[in-house]
Amino acid sequence: DQQVKQNSPSLSVQEGRISILNCDYTNSMFDYFLWYKKYPAEGPTFLISISSIKDKNEDGRFTVFLNKSAKHLSLHIVPSQPGDSAVYFCAAQDSNYQLIWGAGTKLIIKP
Amino acid sequence: DTAVSQTPKYLVTQMGNDKSIKCEQNLGHDTMYWYKQDSKKFLKIMFSYNNKELIINETVPNRFSPKSPDKAHLNLHINSLELGDSAVYFCASSQGANYNEQFFGPGTRLTVL
């Protein structure tokens, strides 16, 4: 049973527009959420995170929103750039500080 | 001066063989991890070491044995390789066991024939 779900395997967005990547989770005890970005043949790299006591965290073009009642978080990228094309993983931290990962969403930025 | 490095990057081997994947981090981190990315692209934790001590050992066949000679290295040895072991294996590190930001190596793609 997947505790962290990214239901969209892929997403295609025009350059300059907003990219919205979604993530749902089932365990209400998760207290920290992270987004990682992964290019082909490389390991994931940390992008942005949010604590469960917040509902928004912003870092430049990247904003993560957390809706605890819906057990849903999203990553917004504005404006989208060609270099944003990658696989984005959502991860949640459990009470043992272990990260539980989603399956990833492949973001394609079209020129 | 790669922060987290793994060798080899690709590994092709026959069923039944024994192989090792090496991981080194130069970030001065205390905690290191091994993940397996399966065919469905999920990253699943296998092991975690904090200051050379095993702290997480998920349900992994005992054919997999991690070795941490020092806190900068966490090697993964796999005995009697099986077809189902084919996957990409990622090493990662973090400042400590309670630090959630993890730094990943480039991965090792293991193919068992």
Selected from 2.60.120.10, 3.40.50.300, 3.40.50.2000, 2.60.40.10, the CATH number assigned to the domain covering B4-112 reads 2.60.40.10
pLDDT, tens digit, 9 for 90 and up, residues B40-88: 788 999 999 988 888 877 778 999 999 999 999 999 999 999 999 999 9
pLDDT at residue B56, as a whole number: 78
pLDDT, tens digit, 9 for 90 and up, residues B4-16: 999 999 999 999 9
Is the CB of B45 less than 8 angstroms away from the CB of A89? no
B5-23 residues labelled b (16+ CB within 10 A) or e (exposed): ebeeeebebeeeeebebbb
Say whether A67 sits in a helix, a strand or coil: strand
B68-90 residues labelled b (16+ CB within 10 A) or e (exposed): beebbbbbbebeebeeebbbbbb
pLDDT at B1 over 70: no
Is the CB of A98 less than 8 angstroms away from the CB of B41? no
Q: What gap in Å lies between CA A36 and CA A17, rounded to an integer?
A: 20
- In order of start, what are the domains of chain A with their CATH numbers? 4-110 (2.60.40.10)
Q: What gap in Å lies between CA B7 and CA B91, rounded to an integer?
A: 10
Is the CB of B100 less than 8 angstroms away from the CB of A43? no
B40 and chain A in contact, CB less than 8 A:
yes
Domain boundaries, chain B: 4-112
pLDDT at residue B87, as a whole number: 95
Q: Looking at residues B100-104, what average pLDDT do you find?
A: 90
pLDDT, tens digit, 9 for 90 and up, residues A46-95: 999 999 999 999 999 999 999 999 999 999 999 999 999 999 999 999 88
Chains A and B: how many Cβ contacts under 8 Å? 50
Cβ-Cβ contacts under 8 Å, B42 against chain A: 2, 101-103
pLDDT at residue A96, as a whole number: 82
Min Cα–Cα distance to chain A from B21, Å: 15
Min Cα–Cα distance to chain A from B1, Å: 15
Identify the residue with better confidence: B98 or B76: B76
Question: Among residues of chain B, what percentage have pLDDT more than 70?
Answer: 99
Of the candidates B9, B100, B106, which has its C-beta nearest A34's C-beta? B100
Is the CB of A43 less than 8 angstroms away from the CB of B98? no
Q: What is the mean pLDDT of chain B?
A: 92
pLDDT at A12 over 90: yes
Name the token pair of A32. Answer: 């920290």
pLDDT at residue A109, as a whole number: 98
Q: What gap in Å lies between CA B93 and CA B104, rounded to an integer?
A: 7
Is the CB of A44 less than 8 angstroms away from the CB of B43? yes
